[in-house]
Structure 1
């Protein structure tokens, strides 16, 4: 079955998160995703709050920019969430927007190397291993978590280019694809992820998550057209009623997406209504 989620966009102030998270939980939406975009809101702090306010909602952070985070600290934060809220957390890491990384003095010469080293270290620490590594960017000396997760603690990674997609297949537990990724691009991404999995000898399940920029209600088309995230021509976005949005979700699922996350526009006028619409109107139309 295709999982369905929605994004709480960080253009909203943090104090609005509670209403959106509890509405999603009450309506039966499976997942709520948060972003750690510069310079809006902390992904870990927001996730902890959303998880505490809800009962069954799975909360994802997609994604945490690795240039901003020491691998040991990121693993400590992740382990705490996974222990407090088992089976309800999924964290993703990624390169981050390079201009933003430059603004804070964290831009690295080889983002791909950093992501690989961070994923390897973080996944090992979350497995309860003691890690010593002297990489180009990640350096750990006899580090182990005192409170590693007691159950599976997946670490996903965001990816766009071919090399990063192969890397996520090899080194991550799941891959996140950005909004405006058309079905044919999802198929190609899945092929590249599988190449990476084969290279890494991976046989475990690898979840593919795709964001879908969606709008409904009055002014939906106009709000989509004003979105800066629309990059492709023609864009793969959807405006309309529940059936129109569900059809786009089904197309992404048929292309290989395990989870589709509806991404509202930055100026969505009713974020609470949007998550209820996703759960109550779109979800019944998605197998």
Structure 2
């Protein structure tokens, strides 16, 4: 069965996040996804808030930009969430928007090298290992977590280009694709992810999560078209219409290889809590 989620956009004021989390919990939604972008609210703080106020839903962070943090701090924060809320946190990691990373003095010459080094070190730390490494960007000397997770920690990676998709297959447990992605893009991504998995000899399941821009209501088509123009969607990405139309689009993405489809409102949606409730109450039952 396809896992269905919804996105709480980072433009949402932090004080309104609780209402969105409650809407996800109460409506029967499987997952609520957050993300961290400059210079809105922090992803870890937002995830901790939603997790503390809910009991059932899984909370994804898609994604934490790796240039923003030392990997030891990332491991400490993620491990704490995993121990306090077992099985309910899905942390994702990515390059970040390079313009913003440069703006804050965190830009690097090789984002691919940084992501590889961070994912490798993060995996080892979350596995409870003592890590010493002298990489190009990640340098750790005899570092171990005092409170490592008590169960295997999922590590997801955001990917778009071929090299990052292969890297995700090699090092991550799942891949997150943006709402620019159409069903044919999911199929192409799956092939590249598999190349990385073969290289690393990985055989365990690799979950693909894709954001799907969605709009409903009388002005849905116009809002979605404007979002598509602003964000450079692939042809066939996004859906506007009734719950039945949106559910059918979710099925198309699932058939293309998406394990989780996360409906993303347009950034001018007038009622984000209402959107999340709509996804859980009107769309989710159509997928059972």
TM-score when scaled to structure 2?
0.98
Aligned to 2:190: 190
Q: For the Cα contact (< 8 Å) 1:160–1:177, is it kept in 2?
A: yes
CA displacement, residues 20-41 of structure 1 (integer Å, 9 cap, x when unaligned): 1011101110100001011111
Q: For the Cα contact (< 8 Å) 1:180–1:235, is it kept in 2?
A: no
Aligned to 1:52: 52
Structure 2: distance between partners of 1:77 and 1:162:
30
Structure 2: distance between partners of 1:188 and 1:126:
30
- The reply to whether residue 223 of structure 1 matches residue 223 of structure 2 is yes
Q: How does 1:1-287 map to 2 (within 5 A)?
A: 1-227=1-227, 229-232=230-233, 234-287=235-288
Structure 1: distance between partners of 2:205 and 2:60:
18
Instruction: Point out where structure 1 has 5 or more consecutive residues left out of the alignment.
Output: none
Q: For the Cα contact (< 8 Å) 1:4–1:29, is it kept in 2?
A: yes
Instruction: Point out where structure 2 has 5 or more consecutive residues left out of the alignment.
Output: none
Q: For the Cα contact (< 8 Å) 1:65–1:95, is it kept in 2?
A: yes
Give how far 1:229 is off. 4.9
Structure 1: distance between partners of 2:212 and 2:133:
38
Residue 114 of structure 2 aligns to a residue whose secondary structure is helix
Residue 193 of structure 1 aligns to a residue whose secondary structure is helix
Residue 80 of structure 2 aligns to a residue whose secondary structure is helix
CA displacement, residues 3-24 of structure 1 (integer Å, 9 cap, x when unaligned): 0000000111011100010111
Give how far 1:231 is off. 0.7
Q: For the Cα contact (< 8 Å) 1:179–1:229, is it kept in 2?
A: no
Structure 1: distance between partners of 2:171 and 2:230:
27
Structure 2: distance between partners of 1:32 and 1:142:
36
Q: For the Cα contact (< 8 Å) 1:95–1:111, is it kept in 2?
A: yes
Structure 2: distance between partners of 1:229 and 1:63:
20
Give how far 1:233 is off. 5.2
Structure 2: distance between partners of 1:183 and 1:235:
7
User: How many residues were matched structurally?
Assistant: 287
Choose 12-21 or 218-227, whichever is displaced more: 218-227
Give how far 1:230 is off. 3.1
Structure 2: distance between partners of 1:270 and 1:4:
19
Residue 19 of structure 2 aligns to a residue whose secondary structure is helix
Task: Please give the root-mean-square deviation of Cα atoms over the aligned residues, in Å.
Answer: 1.0
Q: For the Cα contact (< 8 Å) 2:63–2:91, is it kept in 1?
A: yes
Structure 2: distance between partners of 1:141 and 1:33:
34
Structure 1: distance between partners of 2:220 and 2:256:
25
Choose 264-273 or 107-116, whichever is displaced more: 264-273
TM-score when scaled to structure 1?
0.98
